[in-house]
Every structure is written in structure tokens, then in C-alpha cells.
Amino acid sequence: MDASVLLALRDPAGIPFYPIVFQVLYVLTWALHIAFVLLSIGSLGLSIYGVTQQKSNPNWKLLTGHLIQTGKLSVSLLIVLGVAPLLFTQVIYDPNWYVTNTLSGMWVFIFIYALIVGYCVYYWYYYANKAKEGNGALIGATSFAFLIFCGVLMHNFAITSIMPNDWMQMYAPNGKIDMSGWTFNIEYTRLAFMVSLALPVVGIFLQAYGRFVSSRSDMSKEYVEFCENLGTKLAVIGLIISAILFVFWLNAIEYLFHPIGIVSIIGALVLLAMAGTNKNAYLTVGWLVVVALLFSTLREWLRYDIMSSLGYSIYDYTVNLEIPTIVMFLSTFLIMGGVGVAFLLTLAWKVGKTEGVFDGSKDAAVTKLGNYTLAIMSAWMVIFFGWGLMTLFKNIL
């Protein structure tokens, strides 16, 4: 592929801020996206097994309901957190993203509907199991299949987008234009590695969950131990499987001895040691975040290398500094996002730690954070719409 073609596909308006900032934000937000993808798939998958054990085992009876809830919330978080890397990727890698969306247009449509159906079926599973213990395994498995299918499609988009050399062949195989939008590419080792990560993620989650509920007197010691032991088993076996697949994948893309490849392997080995001993589950979760960031960096490094070898560097993108937009974006992200997330996390933490019903209005910290969030959101709406309308009128009147 000639670099001039890629450069011609760029947005002629340029980008509003320095490309490195979008790249870093992409790495950061994609790590968050994939963390919740893996947690949702892992907890949903494990809950299906739990449903089959629920009637005969009191530990599974309690855990299954919690796993179903965890997966259900994680799907909504993975969707929200998927939007951010999507925006950043289409700012700095717009040729890649839009060509992929054209070549695989049918799959893009199918993706949206598969996600909607998969998530609706998940709610069906949740209600079926809530109505009767041991119910809903088949419904849960259907939702699981839909969500995995969504992941496979996402993988197709990611892979097709880093194959510019083959785009022409995909668009016009043997010189005949194919406008069907059915382009589909798959890299089995990369995909298998990514899906396998669901096992260690749900395992480490269970270790942290065990520690979290251990302070509650309505959760027996036996239940806590059951969760922690199951978590350790899943984390260790899962990490070993993922590590083997990771090495195969790194070898296939010739990154095995690349600095980021080596650092990622070391990061994963430290994670294995931490999960295996389970001395402090919260620290393990913290380290898991570091490993997720390393993995996200590796993915981006690979894409950057592929594109640079074709003469496309994101750092050459024309920058048309647009300070007001950046100020609006950063203040939304940091102030509204920061306070809003702090409110939700504090609330969730306290709800989980409380036996019975938690009344947020009686808790000083939750009330304060809730009031700040409401005030900031109200101010944000006034500024956002006021600013937008002013700009609109200035341009058209």
C-alpha cells in the first residue's frame, strides 16, 4: 500500500490536539474496555456452571446470583468504555477505521443487533434464574454465545484495520469489486489468547470478592474460602493457558523478544505469582490493571509499527489546536467523570459492605458526593447546550 493513499484518507481538517495524547488515551481506555469485556464473559460463563450446581450446593447458590449480577453490570460498562477508544482510534487512525467499516459494513450492522439481542437475553437469563434457582442455563448459554460472537466481530474489525496491504485485494478480489461488506478476517492465536484471559480475570475478581465480603457477618467463613479457592484455581490455570497462547501469538508476530513483549511476559509472571499466593487480592487487582495497560500498549505498538512501515505516522498528523474543545473535553472527563465515578464507586462499596439495606441519605460522604455530582452535571448541561447554541447561532445568523 502506497503511503499517499493512506494519507489521502486522513481528515483534511487535521486533529484538535497533539496525537500522542489521543494515543495515550486510546491505550488507557481500551485497557478498561477489555477488562470489563473479560469480566463479563468470565462471570457469565462461570455463572452458567453455577446454575447447574445451585440446587445442591449452598455456596454456588449464593455465588451464582452474584456472578450473574457482575456480568450484567460489566456488559453495560464494557459498552460505555468501548466508546472512548472508538473515538480516539477514529481520530488518529481514521483511514484504518473507516476502511474497515466499509469493507466489513454488514458485520458492523450485525454487531449492533447481536449486542442488543445478546444483552436482552442476558436480562432474560437474570430474571429466569431469579424466579427459580437452577433455571436459565440454556438462556445464559445463548447470551454467552452472542457476546462471544460480538467479540469475534470486534476482533475482525481490529485485524482488518491493520491489514492495509490487503485492503485492495479485499475490496476488489481478482480485480472484481466486492461491495457486499462481508469482509471477515481472523487471527486465531490472537483471538484465543484474548478470550482465554476471561479465566484469570474472573479468578482474580473472585479473590477480591472473597476478601471484600469477608468483613460481613452474614457471609460464612466457609463461603469466603470457597470463593477465594475457586478464584485462585481459575486464576492460576487461566494465566498458564493465556501465557502459552500469548507466547505463541508474540512469536507469530515476531514480538517475542521485543522490549514490550518481554515486559508484558514479566508482568504476567508476577501476576501469576501474586494470584497463586493470594496474599492481598486488592494488590493483585491493581497489578492486573498494570498488565492490562501493558497488553494495551503492546497492541498499539504493533499497529503503530505496521502503519509506520507503510509511511503512515500518527505523529505527522496536522494539528489544528482547538483549545476550547480540549478544555471542554478534559474538564468533562476529569471533573464530571472523576466526581461521578467517585460517587458511584463509594456508593457501590458501601452498599456491598452493608448487611441489609444501605440508606445513602444517612451517609455523609455519599450524600456529599451525590450532591456534587448533581450540581456538576447540571452546570455541565447548561454550559454544553449554551455553548453549542451560541456557536450555532454565531455561524448561521
CA–CA distance, 39 with 204 (Å, rounded to integer) = 10
> Does 50 participate in binding ligand HEM (rule CB under 6 A)?
no
**Contact by Cβ (8 Å): 307, 1:** no
**Candidate list 63, 121, 137, 150; residue touching ligand HEM; CB under 6 A:** 150
CA–CA distance, 144 with 138 (Å, rounded to integer) = 10
Determine which helix (DSSP H) or strand (DSSP E) holds 134, and give its type and residue range.
none
> Does 194 participate in binding ligand HEM (rule CB under 6 A)?
yes
By C-alpha distance, which of 348, 283, 357 is closest to 69?
348
**Candidate list 79, 240, 270, 342; residue touching ligand HEM; CB under 6 A:** 79
Determine which helix (DSSP H) or strand (DSSP E) holds 202, and give its type and residue range.
helix 198-213
> Does 30 participate in binding ligand HEM (rule CB under 6 A)?
yes
Half-sphere exposure of 143 (CA within 13 A, CB side): 28
CA–CA distance, 61 with 219 (Å, rounded to integer) = 13
CA–CA distance, 209 with 77 (Å, rounded to integer) = 18
**Candidate list 19, 71, 151, 261; residue touching ligand HEM; CB under 6 A:** 151
> Does 83 participate in binding ligand HEM (rule CB under 6 A)?
yes
By C-alpha distance, which of 143, 258, 278, 114 is closest to 204?
278
Residue 100-129 contact track with ligand HEM, rule CB under 6 A, x = bound: ---------------x--------------
Residue 299-338 contact track with ligand HEM, rule CB under 6 A, x = bound: x---------------------------------------
Name the segment binding ligand HEM (CB under 6 A); options: 75-83, 206-214, 307-315, 339-347.
75-83
Sign of the alpha-carbon dihedral angle for 341, 344, 345, 347: positive
Residue 129-148 contact track with ligand HEM, rule CB under 6 A, x = bound: ------------------x-
> Does 45 participate in binding ligand HEM (rule CB under 6 A)?
no
By C-alpha distance, which of 290, 303, 395, 343 is closest to 23?
303
Rank residues 200 and 210 by Cβ distance to ligand HEM and give the closer one.
200
**Contact by Cβ (8 Å): 263, 306:** no
Rank residues 45 and 210 by Cβ distance to ligand HEM and give the closer one.
45
> Does 86 participate in binding ligand HEM (rule CB under 6 A)?
yes
Q: Residues interacting with ligand HEM, by CB under 6 A? A: 30, 33, 37, 78-79, 82-83, 85-86, 89, 115, 147, 150-151, 154-155, 157-159, 161, 190, 194, 299
